Copies of this chain bind each other. A is one copy, B any other.
Amino acid sequence: MALEHLFQGSALNAVDAKGRVSIPAFLRGVIERRGDARTIVLAKHEAFACLSAYDPAYAALKHAKLERLLEKGETSPDAELEYQQRNLMAFAATEEVPYDSSGRILMPPMMRRKGQIGEIALFLGTGETFQIWNPDLLLKDPRIPEDLKDIARFRLEERGQQ
């Protein structure tokens, strides 16, 4: 597998009154290098109180990964069911949204609620995908490494001083 271009870095962007958010340029760059889409796929993260996001090309890859998992651990009826459930989550519970010429998406209301995103969205690159957080929720989560919280605090501070 191994994707050539990886999402990395962090940024804090505003969600305006219309629900628009700029996808940071450095993430858009990766999306457009991976494929020629100007679109992102949004999903609720499986483990954290945030959204998971990626490009359409990655969605296909993810599907292939699930298939492989099934074929490896197959024979068990549990595995089959789990596969069905994962597949549902991977595709039905996601939304694909395009970004405009200035790099903004219109955050879908359902996703905004699922991710509990308020007026400010924290973007975190995680390699194959990236995450979108309500920064306050990240700071509260005990599973998040302290060093990363420092970064979130720095971004908040940076923005506050303007």
Contact = CB atoms under 8 A, between A and B. Distances in A.
Given A87-B126, A88-B145, A92-B126, A59 B6 contact: yes
A17 interface: no
A126 B2 contact: no
Interface string A39-54: 0010010011000000
Given A47-B84, A67-B1, A80-B47, A124 B8 contact: no
Nearest to A152: B92
Given A47-B81, A84-B47, A8 B92 contact: yes
Nearest to A151: B93
Interface in A76-102: 80-81, 84-85, 87-96
Nearest to A75: B73
A126 B91 contact: yes
Categorize the interface residue count of chain A. 35 or more
8 tightest A-B contacts by CB? A92-B124, A8-B91, A91-B125, A87-B126, A91-B127, A91-B126, A9-B95, A63-B127
Interface of A: 1-2, 4, 6-10, 26, 41, 44, 47-48, 56, 59-60, 63-64, 67, 80-81, 84-85, 87-96, 109-110, 113-114, 124-127, 131, 143-145, 147-148, 150-151, 154-155, 158
Given A6-B91, A84-B126, A89-B148, 4 more contacts: A6-B56, A9-B96, A10-B92, A91-B125
